[in-house]
Amino acid sequence: MSSPALVDVDCAVCGQGPGVTALLKAVRGPEEPGRIARCGGCGHMFVSPRHDDVWIAQSYADSGLAAEYLVRLYLPHEVGRRRVMEGFLDEIERHTPGRGRLLDVGAATGLLASLATDRGWQATGVEPSEPARRFGFERYGVRLLPGFFEQLPWTPGAYDCVTMLDVLEHVVRPVECLRAAVESLAPGGLVAILTPNWDSLSRRLLGGRWDAVVPSGHLHYFRPCLLARLLETLGLELLEATTRGLPGLGGRPRWRRPLERLGLGEAIWVLGRKMARAS
C-alpha cells in the first residue's frame, strides 16, 4: 500500500472547518494521523487532517490488514459476535410485522446477513474489503456486494431495513451514507445504527486512551444528540435512541444500565423508521 497522504478536511455534518484540536492519542505507529478536531459550527468530532480517499480505499483492499482483523479481532470473538447480532435482530424485529429485504452496510464477513437469512429475511450486505467478502462466502455462504455503499447506485425503496453496525465512524462522508440509506428504504422501512459514543463515561475518563480512538480507521466520533438531529433531518422517525454498554461481545452488567440511561454508555444505538414524506 502506498504511503498515506494527509489532507485537511471540513466537517462532514455541517461543512464548517474544525475549531480546536480536541484530543491527541498516543499513536501506535506512523499510520495514525493522531489528531481529532471539533467542528466550530455543530460540535461534531472528526479526524483532520486524515488520510486521503485513495489511501482509505487501498486499506480495505489490503489482504494483510484484513487477515490481521480476522485472526486477532474476529475469530476469537465469533461466538460473542453471533450473540450480539442476534440481539440486534431481536430489537429490529420488535418494530416490524414481518421479514422483508435487509441490507447490512459495512457487512464485514456477512455474519449479520447470514443470521438474518436464517430468520426469514431476504438479506445481503455490502462490504468494500474483498478478503472479508471472500471469508464470508467461505464460512457462511453469504455473497456480499462489493464497494462503498454511498457510492453505489441504489434503487429507491429497495429495502425494508438497512443496518449500519460499527460503520458510521469508518466512512469518509457519513451524511451521504445515511442519506443513501434513507433513499434506499421503502416507506416505513427501518435504519439501525450502532456507533461509538463520544459522550461516554469511558471516553471522558480515558481521553485519547479510549479504545474507540483510532484515527486511521475511525474518522468520525458522534454525540447522541447530534446524531439524533441529523437522522430526523434526513426524514427518520426515531423509535429508539439510547446508549449502550460495551458494544462488543459481552453481556450488559446491571451497573452499566444507569450510565446508559444518562447517555454515558459506550455506544449509541439508534433505530429509525422512514417517514412517508422522506425522499
Q: What is the pLDDT of residue 258?
A: 72
Q: From edge to edge, which strands make up the β-sheet containing 267-274? A: 145-146, 122-127, 101-105, 159-165, 185-196, 267-274, 236-244
The answer for 74, left when phi > 0, alpha when psi is -120 to 50, beta otherwise, is alpha
Global pTM reads 0.89
Identify whether 170 is part of a domain: yes
**CATH number assigned to the domain comprising residue 104:** 3.40.50.150
Burial status of residue 275 (CB atoms within 10 A of its CB: 0-12, 13-18, 19 or more): middle
Task: Give the orientation angle of helix 111-118 with respect to helix 78-93, to 10 degrees.
Answer: 50
Identify whether 245 is part of a domain: yes
Identify whether 168 is part of a domain: yes
Q: What is the pLDDT of residue 20?
A: 53
How many folded domains does the chain comprise? 1
How far CA 49 is from CA of 12, 28, 34, 38, 114, in Å, comes to 13, 17, 9, 12, 37
Identify whether 1 is part of a domain: no
What's the pLDDT tens digit per position in 222-247?
A: 999 999 999 999 999 999 999 987 54
Burial status of residue 239 (CB atoms within 10 A of its CB: 0-12, 13-18, 19 or more): middle
| Domain of 174, in residue numbers | 6-274
Report, as ranges of residue numbers, the positions in the chain whose pLDDT lies below 50: 22, 26-29, 247-250, 278-279
**SS3 state of residue 7:** strand
Q: What is the pLDDT of residue 254?
A: 64
Q: What is the pLDDT of residue 278?
A: 43
